[in-house]
Amino acid sequence: MLHLRRMGWSGCITLLILLGIAPLPARAAMPGGPSAAVILRRAEVRAQAGHKNILLEFGASWCVNCKLYDRMLADPSLHAILHKAFVFTEMDTGENPTDRLHANTPGGVAFEDALGGKDAGWPFLVILNAKGRPIISSFRPDAKAKSGQTNIGYPVLPVEVNWFMTMVRRGAPSLSRAERAKVRAWLTAVAAKILRG
């Protein structure tokens, strides 16, 4: 996972501007927003109606990697491909408790923990079937990690892009080889800009 904290805030802002992804609107839950159970149920209804799986993002308003992920979903060249296969939804689980403008999704932290995302970092991605059962998450096998796995967050390194594509292949088997290749090419091109940044 790309750790932008090492770059410092000015480096992060510069990188985001170079990538064309700053500023982004706030994405965090507002205090008093819907609960994790409500968010999941709404996603399940849409997924069942559209014969799709759910790609759930756990994140936070301040999370630079979450904004990169959100920008990927909004990109016109990927939007049709990804939305053909997935219902996208998000829960905020990393908000600062003293932040009066943003709040964690009620029940979101417990749900993230139940899906194995405790201390994963953000974004933590989980693909669920239309009934809300997990298929695969953004934890990739990693022999060097103490737990044996590492959260890819927003995929930048080749091993992270490979794992994200594994997630797509398992979670969206209806996508064609050409569609998956387009997603990989987009991720690889953006990753190259980030790594040069």
pTM: 0.86
CB proximity list for 6: less than 8 A, separation 6 or greater:
none
- The torsion angle over the Cα atoms of residues 39, 42, 48 and 53, rounded to 10 degrees, is -30
pLDDT at residue 19, rounded to an integer: 52
pLDDT at residue 20, rounded to an integer: 53
pLDDT at residue 32, rounded to an integer: 72
pLDDT digits (tens, 9 = 90+) for 60-109: 999 999 999 999 999 999 999 999 999 999 999 999 999 999 999 999 99
Low-confidence ranges of the chain (pLDDT < 70): 1-31
